[in-house]
Structure 1
């Protein structure tokens, strides 16, 4: 008999069975055949807010990190090295409170807009877990859920792993065949996600001008768009192979496209060209394994030689100010800028910005209403992204293809 993991992370699923005639596991009938964009309305019962999770006290830190690194053979000594980031904040990651705030904001705005969809919340690595959220759904009689992950881009950890998480939770709870889970498209170029960054960079420009009225933005200011680094092998396999992305895959291409949109929106009318680049942070792999570069701190160290006096760091890959923003940017990147004598400004993440909250609801409504692809907003030429993930999308080279839902196999 399968053990019931109440209040604990579910074990990896052994299978993601298909309904008779279906090509997508655990999908609603509208998505079972695997269309790129589902243009048939679906009467969902609830929204499933899915996130990474984080510790909420000193005693939680190591168990949480064990969950994050499960199956990777990471020694306890290495976990202790990472733990000090959390311990510096009392062992509490801000991400759970941020998700509570986002859940409340979604519920409030759904009510204001007259949309009767409850919001359930489950995490990958800490309470409340996704299996607990599915039990909550089952107890309420909800059978059709629309998954909303707190990650906007295409990669293993930001998309496919959430789809694996859904499969894990369905198998763990025995609710496969009872609960169906679709997932909203990756929303990296949706106006609701991009608008807060445009506003944040504009405000950052004003902050630099106030501090340095004489500064030349075309030669003395640089914008660094920061996102989480991932293994180069995973990056190369992010997004569908048929799209023909370069060696860094859809993950880098999506970030670069959004950064270009942000810079054009901020500087387009002024005629000023402000230098910018995409940088990476939070690398955690062994030195022998190539990861996406340059690291944000290395990029900052190179700026003074080019005459840069001020740096604006934009956490483009993140939806909220969680630990990797607070520690890696507000602490380490700022320290690097201080060491180089650079004026440092960090733009905000979307958090619960009104445009972001409304945008997430709009993405859900695309699936509720079966909105045609031609009517869906996208601020880059790469979107609107797929509702149903394509075969082989975002493979994890080290783990292979594990059971997943909301996409075509493998």
Structure 2
């Protein structure tokens, strides 16, 4: 065994008592207000805990079965960190590691911790996957999830329900500093929208789950988007969280619990939601295509 793949996700806690430390990581060590800890704890409890790491592990196992080489998992902001994963695979003989973020945009923020951890293992060569949001199989997987959600929409409104393609928001200062997240997400969303609009469906882009800081964040947010749709007469909406590759608190709470209330307040009474791609076969096709292309170079 000389080659392996490291898939990394944002990371999450399995115990609510770890939420304060997790939030401190997200906030780069800035003190976390007690009310924010309480709110995040409430959200985790409301959904029964985040399934993010379990989904990530399932994605890794499905990819491993496809490519026939080891696939290991790490988190960017919570255990297992790359520094905790690399010693074990190096001890097993891995000498080439492909870093594959389970986020199609802003991949360098995931590669950074992997490179830092690899600096302690000079025998290990790290290769890094570029942004992969335009991978054809990924676009296919998103469209699959949207079509499955549309099947739950009553036939009489299926052709007219607005489809909101959502992603996690970021502070605008991050974008101003050169992060390509917004440009890359909008390109990916545009590819999904083109497929849907060719069938006469209507799409919008929105940014959700912004942080607690008072600074400007990417928009429009869901409230603004829903209000705009309601002004144009929409009575239903379908949100497709294509910015998220696994179910976790930003989908299970922010969309399944909070977003229907925001929509109702705007005057939209019927709310539908596409599922995250998780480990569906077409999504694993996308991961496999990225891995094979990068390892063949």
Report deviation, 1:181: 1.3
CA contact (8 A) 2:237 2:268 kept: no
- The match for 1:293 is 219
State the structure with more CA Rg.
1
Paired position in structure 1 for 2:6: 48
1:216, CA displacement in angstroms? 7.9
In the TM superposition, 1:32-181 aligns within 5 A as 45-90=3-48, 92-110=49-67, 115=68, 117-154=69-106, 159-171=107-119, 174-175=120-121, 177-181=122-126
Q: Give secondary structure in 2 for the equivalent of 1:78.
A: helix
1:206 and 1:216 map into 2 onto residues whose CA distance is 8
Equivalent position to 1:316, from 237, 242, 256: 242
Question: For the Cα contact (< 8 Å) 1:54–1:64, is it kept in 2?
Answer: yes
Q: CA deviation at 1:77?
A: 4.0
Tell me the distance in 2 between the aligned counterparts of 1:89 and 1:143. 40
Select which of 209, 223, 241 maps to 1:282.
209
- Tell me, in whole angstroms, the C-alpha distance in 2 between the residues paired with 1:46 and 1:341: 48
Shift of 1:199: 1.6
**1:51-103: per-residue Cα shift (whole Å, max 9, x none)?**
1221112333223223332323333443333222113234x221111111112
RMSD over equivalenced CA pairs, Å: 2.2
What is residue 127 of structure 2 aligned with on the other side? 182
Report what 1:224 is aligned to: 164
**Deviation sequence 1:102-139 (CA, Å, 0-9, x none):** 122112223xxxx3x11121112223221111111121
Q: Is the 8 A contact 1:62 1:80 kept in 2?
A: no
Residues 44 and 146 in structure 1, CA contact (< 8 A), matched pair in contact too: no
Which structure 1 residue ranges, 5 or more long, are not aligned? 1-42, 240-249, 371-410
TM superposition score normalised by structure 2? 0.91
Corresponding residue to 2:191 among 261, 269, 277: 261
Structure 2 residue ranges without an equivalent (≥5): none
Shift of 1:141: 1.8
Cα distance in 2 for partners of 1:44, 1:345 equals 46
C-alpha separation in 2, matches of 1:122 and 1:201: 29
Provide TM-score, normalisation by structure 1.
0.67
Deviation at 1:44, TM superposition (A): 6.0
RCO higher in 1 or 2 (8 Å CA, sep ≥ 6)? 1
Match of 1:329 in 2: 255
Are the counterparts in 1 of residues 47 and 249 from structure 2 also a CA contact under 8 Å?
no
Give the distance between the partners of 2:206 and 2:257, measured in 1 at CA: 16
The number of residues matched between the two structures is 296
